[in-house]
Structure 1
Amino acid sequence: MSDLKRFEHLKVQLEAIRSATNNFGENHLIGKGGFGKVYKGELFHCEGHTTVALKCLDRAFGQGDREFWNEILMLSLYKHENIVPLLGFCDDGGEKILVYKYASRRGLDLYLNSNNLTWVRRLEICIGAARGLTYLHNPGETKQRVLHRDIKSSNILLDENWNAMIADFGLSKFCPADLQYSFIFSNPVGTFGYWDPLYTETGLLTKESDVYSFGVVLFEVLCGRLCTGNHDNSQSFTELVRKHYKEHNLNGIIFGNIKDKINRSSLKVFSVIAYQCLKRDRNKRPLMNEILAALETALEYQQNDLGNTGAMDKLKQLQESVPLESRAKGDPTTRPRTATERFNVSPIPLHVFEFLVLQCQFL
């Protein structure tokens, strides 16, 4: 396909990948996911010689060519320090392999119950992920935003310095942001436990679907556990955290190692914004830039060890200090937003539309 020539500089030969992984040897295998097996290796690619993660498509896991090319398209267009960089791909010898910058600490899910992950570091990881998702949701000059559709702790990768990067864009969708109604209909996909209930019930996908999933991640970080598992078979994770929040009993579910070290104001701001993310009514969920502002405030309170006085006033100011943006009349998914300038969010290049045409050939 002639349109794929623009990706020629990203192509990696299968023989080079076989050599880097000792022919996909078990000692190079570092994980498995919904896409297939992931290997670690030393590889020379378009940006030089470095340690990489190689994600190999296995159709038995339910994904295929569409997800493979979708990931290449998305990560070729959207570049941000909190989005995992795509370094190359292989479409050779019947193999389809994606090559990423290696995140040495792998997924956030591996550290939720780590005694070494302080509250400050947990907040910094959440802030990094929120910056990446804010960038994806920002329509920029193209009036298009990206809906990830599979936000979860295992898709938030961590490098050696604990910097967070959002990964796994195979299920992502472009969504117009300048129409009367900014949503799309699609078959619900994602991961059990993180699904937006309204999306799964109606097939109506909005940016608030990502917000709901991110809210689940925030409570995972606070509770030090995954949303799935045999912790309490009588109720779901989201039901559990809502119950404790409403009963003002978050101490009953906060991860033990950080429970006595969280500043009260920091916890208040964090828990309020996380709870709002889980609102069933999507119109009551916050925007990503509001979430980012709240998380930064929670970190500020923790680092300065400030008292509880003024915590909620500060949160309200973050949500109400700017006027309504101009928006499409009747769009039910928009609300007052805080200024995005403070988050250093770069607009998406206008040539995104060329890629949208290409993407349609795979959807």
Structure 2
Amino acid sequence: MAFLLLFLLSFVFNPANAQSRSSIIEPGSSLSPNNNSYWLSESGQFAFGFYPYGNGYSVGIWFENIPQKTVVWTLNRDDPPFTGDATLLLSTQGRLTVRPTQGREVLIAGVANAASSASMLDSGNFVLFGSSSGIIWQSFDFPTDTILPGQPLVVNSKLVSDVSETNHTSGKFQIIMQDDGNLVQYPVEAVGVGFSYWSSETNHVGYGASLNLDSEGLLYLQNATGFNITSLNNKVAATGKSIYRATIDADGIFRLYSHSSNRLDNWFIEWSSSDNKCDPIGLCGENSYCFSMEGEPVCQCPPRFVYIDEEHKDLGCRKNYSLVACTERNYQTFNFSKLVDFSWKDSDSYLNVSARTENDCRSECSRDCNCEAALYNNQSCKMLKLPLRFGRRDTSSQIITLLKIAGELAGPGTRKRKLRIDILITSLALACSTLVFLVVAAIGVLKYRSRVQEYNRILCSVNNRVAEDVALKSFTLEELKDATNNFVEEIGKGAYGTVFRGVISEAAGERMVAIKRLEKVVAEGEREFRNEMKAIGITHHKNLVRLLGYCYDGTDRLLVYEYMKNGSLADFLFKSKLKINWEGRVEIVLNIARGLCYLHEECETQIIHCDIKPENILMDDNGYAKIADFGLAKLLMPNQSKTYTGLRGTMGYVAPEWVWNLPITVKADVYSFGIMLFEIVCCRRRVEADVPENEQFLADWVYDCFKANEVEMLVRNEEVTKSKLERMVKVGLWCIQDEALSRPSMKEVTLMLEGRVNIPDPPLLRSFLRSPDPLLLGSFVSSP
């Protein structure tokens, strides 16, 4: 739908059909959807007029000179769309209205003070001028979901999210500039203490504060006297001529976006109020809760509940059972479904009682015919009726949710009969116990223990242990043979196996995958298999290739990955005729840095990749770089910071400590990253023979250019700001220092690349690169 809307916008918003860019709109001027006309700002940056929406048209403001045509303001967003024969008119009486051929005229502005003219300003503000040339009405005073540079969000004003990218009606979430100086996000249907899910924590400021966005991308709060209280983000490093907007998105997260004239891709997220997309309260509907899967929010039903609409799971869930009403003469014994560490809107509880234990809370709810669910926490039992609202996972809450489901229906006197039956059953069970024991013993003695059965038992046990490590799908070898047409389409080959293209079936249809078949001896293959399973199975990051499943069948070890059809970074850098532009290369470097930072510092188990190089960086459909091939990864326990291990990786990228047999830490990956950073910057291999002698070893040449203050020589025939190029070079030189302790962490590298910290000049490069070991030189030159 989003792509369809962009297509329609690009067709209707053809500048060839636009009216004059004159900054002044005189009374009597009009627009009509049928004429494909709109009023442009003087530079052509913004447009005001009709845009296609639903089965008709809405009046709004959008970015006209970028392909996305992003809408930043909509008139009466919750009203039905206008028909194609409507007219937008600045009348001679100074009223700005929309006149449909049928129905009531919609007044935009101009009741109290007649407008003498109007203008679509280059700031994105549509204004009406009075007779004295002062502004008597402006769109900036009535924001919808977005603010632009120069547009303050003043006290008691708010932004409300859209329903979706293509539905601009009011959605579920809002961000409010409160009169206490605090900027707070709430669900639309619940404002107040206990329902905020993000705030600027500036409630000490008092009345008169405002949220502001400046032209350089700084999002900050200002008090009534004009003093900056706090900045929500760091100043954005300019990338060409950038434009900015701050929007509360349909998923409830407030984000700052930039769009650069140097990039043709979509908006780039500079800052967001939350990295967890399940943080917004109320993202999922009634009787459902949110959990994160691969960084994306998923709405889940509790046990014995089903989705109201399978196609729109955010609408919530309904129970798929019924409870027979209890009365004085009928009793119902109830079962309970239990959820741990989930929070709900507990203000919906109709009764709070004291309960020493969880079982006491169950009993209280069982005895109360109105109780359909109970929340137990710290000897408190809150009884509720369905639906449950605002559900989300909250491991800090320690709340136990008890959902009452149907049990047995009984009448007076049934309990005594039931008790006698229980006694009879217990007696029979005790009488039979000896016989059962003898039967089991006989079966155990006579059990057939063939060699094949023993092998299968051991294999099953191993498979189960692997499955305990990571929750991945298990495939049989036959399934993967069918998926790959018996392994015919090879798409890659490495030291530990061959990769084939395949197609697997899922609930949503067929999916293209990459299947890696390990080809070493069993012992080594099993070790690498387990290593890679554990390393990737526990990771979830947008800059890491996702492992979907595995096969552990006899001596066969296979891994099933998401398919990256754009190939490796090496293909883009060294084989493609189309060169990645500077901004794209910077983005790739940042992608890789963030992925490595996650592996080193954010995983539950610290991971050293051990083989960072362009061949192990894959490109997804959107041009994002993802780290792949954890077959050489070295896992460290949480209390372990270094390890001794044999030489791994690819010559030319390995750190000195590998060669010198020193302890290996995450700084080994930092070194490899530094070498690869130079390759990305210069779009060439680390060693090349058909270049001048002083340029053959890339790291040496980079260092010489930096020392001579001639870094521009590294990117000949490219227009790159020297300061930006020097920043990248300095980061790389710090990464390839001989001493591991001298290298920055990947967290520090990321901050340097993002421009958040100053980078001192790196020290001299010493022995390892300046005088490489002659025994290794051949490997450096020949390794791909």
* TM-score exceeds 0.5: yes
SS in 1 for 2:552: strand
Deviates more, 1:166-175 or 1:237-246: 237-246
- Looking at structure 2, the residues matched to 125 and 47 of structure 1 have their Cα atoms a distance apart, in angstroms, of 31
Q: Which amino acid aligns with 2:564?
A: A
Map 1:159-198 onto structure 2 (within 5 A): 159-176=620-637, 178=639, 182-198=641-657
In the TM superposition, what is the alpha-carbon distance from 1:96 to its structure 2 partner? 1.5
Q: What is the Cα-based RMSD across aligned positions, in Å?
A: 2.7
In structure 2, the partner of 1:219 is: 678
TM-score normalised per structure 1: 0.73
Aligned counterpart in structure 2 of residue 21 of structure 1, from 484, 490, 495: 484
- Looking at structure 2, the residues matched to 87 and 169 of structure 1 have their Cα atoms a distance apart, in angstroms, of 14
Aligned counterpart in structure 1 of residue 742 of structure 2, from 284, 299, 309: 284
- Looking at structure 2, the residues matched to 46 and 149 of structure 1 have their Cα atoms a distance apart, in angstroms, of 36
Distance change >3 Å, CA 36–CA 230, structure 1 → 2: farther
Is the contact between residue 188 and residue 199 of structure 1 (CA under 8 Å) also seen in structure 2? yes
Aligned counterpart in structure 1 of residue 758 of structure 2, from 292, 316, 330: 316
1:283-334 superposed Cα distances (whole Å, 9 cap, x missing partner): 221111121122223xxxxxxxxxxxxxxxx642899xxxxxxxxxxxxxxx
Q: Which amino acid aligns with 1:291?
A: V
In the TM superposition, what is the alpha-carbon distance from 1:228 to its structure 2 partner? 4.2
Moved over 4 A (4+): 45-48, 176-179, 231-235
Map 1:191-270 onto structure 2 (within 5 A): 191-231=650-690, 236-254=697-715, 256=716, 259-270=717-728
1:132-189 superposed Cα distances (whole Å, 9 cap, x missing partner): 100111156x5x421111111111111111111111111112235656xx32111121
Map 1:53-202 onto structure 2 (within 5 A): 53-59=514-520, 64-92=525-553, 94-113=555-574, 114=576, 115-138=578-601, 142=604, 144-176=605-637, 178=639, 182-202=641-661
- Looking at structure 2, the residues matched to 272 and 315 of structure 1 have their Cα atoms a distance apart, in angstroms, of 12
* Structure with larger Rg: 2
- Looking at structure 1, the residues matched to 698 and 759 of structure 2 have their Cα atoms a distance apart, in angstroms, of 30
- Looking at structure 2, the residues matched to 135 and 317 of structure 1 have their Cα atoms a distance apart, in angstroms, of 22
Is the contact between residue 500 and residue 514 of structure 2 (CA under 8 Å) also seen in structure 1? yes
In the TM superposition, what is the alpha-carbon distance from 1:197 to its structure 2 partner? 1.2
- Looking at structure 1, the residues matched to 555 and 507 of structure 2 have their Cα atoms a distance apart, in angstroms, of 22
Distance change >3 Å, CA 195–CA 45, structure 1 → 2: farther
Fraction of identical pairs, as percent: 34
Q: Which amino acid aligns with 1:189?
A: R
- Looking at structure 2, the residues matched to 193 and 231 of structure 1 have their Cα atoms a distance apart, in angstroms, of 18
Distance change >3 Å, CA 63–CA 262, structure 1 → 2: farther
Q: Which amino acid aligns with 2:727?
A: V
1:20-44 superposed Cα distances (whole Å, 9 cap, x missing partner): 222111xx22121122221112112
Is the contact between residue 188 and residue 203 of structure 1 (CA under 8 Å) also seen in structure 2? no
- Looking at structure 2, the residues matched to 47 and 175 of structure 1 have their Cα atoms a distance apart, in angstroms, of 37
SS in 1 for 2:754: helix
In the TM superposition, what is the alpha-carbon distance from 1:250 to its structure 2 partner? 2.7
In the TM superposition, what is the alpha-carbon distance from 1:47 to its structure 2 partner? 8.5
In the TM superposition, what is the alpha-carbon distance from 1:226 to its structure 2 partner? 2.1
1:1-27 superposed Cα distances (whole Å, 9 cap, x missing partner): 2422425752112222222222111xx
SS in 2 for 1:112: helix
Aligned counterpart in structure 2 of residue 10 of structure 1, from 467, 473, 480: 473
SS in 2 for 1:32: strand
Is the contact between residue 702 and residue 729 of structure 2 (CA under 8 Å) also seen in structure 1? no
Distance change >3 Å, CA 246–CA 317, structure 1 → 2: closer
SS in 1 for 2:511: strand
- Looking at structure 2, the residues matched to 14 and 46 of structure 1 have their Cα atoms a distance apart, in angstroms, of 20
Q: Which amino acid aligns with 2:758?
A: K
Q: Which amino acid aligns with 2:668?
A: S
Is the contact between residue 711 and residue 722 of structure 2 (CA under 8 Å) also seen in structure 1? no
Q: Which amino acid aligns with 1:202?
A: N
1:317-360 superposed Cα distances (whole Å, 9 cap, x missing partner): 899xxxxxxxxxxxxxxxxxxxxxxxxxxxxxxxxxxxxxxxxx
Distance change >3 Å, CA 316–CA 189, structure 1 → 2: same
Q: Which amino acid aligns with 2:680?
A: V
SS in 2 for 1:253: helix
Is the contact between residue 35 and residue 63 of structure 1 (CA under 8 Å) also seen in structure 2? no
TM-score normalised per structure 2: 0.35
Is the contact between residue 89 and residue 97 of structure 1 (CA under 8 Å) also seen in structure 2? yes
Is the contact between residue 85 and residue 101 of structure 1 (CA under 8 Å) also seen in structure 2? yes
- Looking at structure 1, the residues matched to 602 and 503 of structure 2 have their Cα atoms a distance apart, in angstroms, of 36
Map 1:33-72 onto structure 2 (within 5 A): 33-44=494-505, 49-59=510-520, 64-72=525-533
- Matched residue pairs, number? 293
SS in 2 for 1:127: helix
SS in 1 for 2:544: coil
In structure 2, the partner of 1:323 is: none
Is the contact between residue 193 and residue 237 of structure 1 (CA under 8 Å) also seen in structure 2? no
Q: Which amino acid aligns with 2:724?
A: S
Which structure has more strand as a fraction of its residues? Answer: 2
Distance change >3 Å, CA 198–CA 239, structure 1 → 2: farther
Structure 1, unaligned runs of 5 or more: 298-313, 320-363
SS in 2 for 1:190: coil
- Looking at structure 2, the residues matched to 92 and 58 of structure 1 have their Cα atoms a distance apart, in angstroms, of 13
Q: Which amino acid aligns with 2:597?
A: T
Is the contact between residue 45 and residue 87 of structure 1 (CA under 8 Å) also seen in structure 2? no
Map 1:290-305 onto structure 2 (within 5 A): 290-297=748-755
Distance change >3 Å, CA 251–CA 101, structure 1 → 2: same
- Looking at structure 2, the residues matched to 239 and 80 of structure 1 have their Cα atoms a distance apart, in angstroms, of 34
In the TM superposition, what is the alpha-carbon distance from 1:46 to its structure 2 partner? 8.7
Distance change >3 Å, CA 125–CA 8, structure 1 → 2: closer
Q: Which amino acid aligns with 2:478?
A: E
- Looking at structure 1, the residues matched to 552 and 483 of structure 2 have their Cα atoms a distance apart, in angstroms, of 16
